[in-house]
Homo-oligomer: A and B are copies of this chain.
Amino acid sequence: MVARRMLRADNLYGHADVRPTEPFPDREAGNQTGEKQMLGLIATMRIQDGKTAEFERVFLDLAAKVRANEPGNLTYQLTRSRAEPNTYKVLEIYSDEAAFKAHGASDHFKAAGPALGSVLAGRPDLEILDGIVGA
């Protein structure tokens, strides 16, 4: 069941899961701007032993498509942990909620799901963050 879930791109990155279920906490800084809130995402992926080269090939192809087709994606950088060589973190920044949703719904993102799912050692860990910008 886990393997089958991993093959669904919308579930691979679990976009349905990362929306907050609680209201936003009160913000002293009052930086919230509703729909135009910039979003950051740190996606942590652990890769099966011996599969990191394949993972990098597949992910870099996806990243090129994201940059070419998603004007609302501001950063989409693959990085690799120095402490855990099988662990990768993608640093992602989106101009707003709509751009974030468009990424998860894109054909190129969904198409990468099976190849990524086949090399992942487990479900990706996603941390969604609110972008803080000047007034």
Contacts and interface: CB of A to CB of B under 8 A. Distances in A.
Nearest to A51: B28
Interface string A8-52: 000000000000100011111111000000101010000000101
Interface stretch (A71-79, A98-106, A110-118): A71-79
A121 to B, nearest CB: 14
Main secondary structure of the interface of A (DSSP, over half): mixed
Contact of A52 (B24, B28, B64): B28
A56 B28 CA distance: 10
Interface in A55-89: 56, 59-60, 64, 74-75, 77-82, 85, 88-89
3 nearest A-B pairs in the assembled complex, by CB-CB distance: A79-B129, A40-B79, A29-B53
Given A27-B85, A42-B89, A64-B134, 18 more contacts: A24-B82, A25-B85, A27-B80, A30-B53, A40-B79, A60-B132, A60-B133, A74-B77, A77-B93, A77-B131, A78-B132, A78-B133, A79-B130, A79-B132, A80-B132, A88-B132, A91-B91, A91-B93
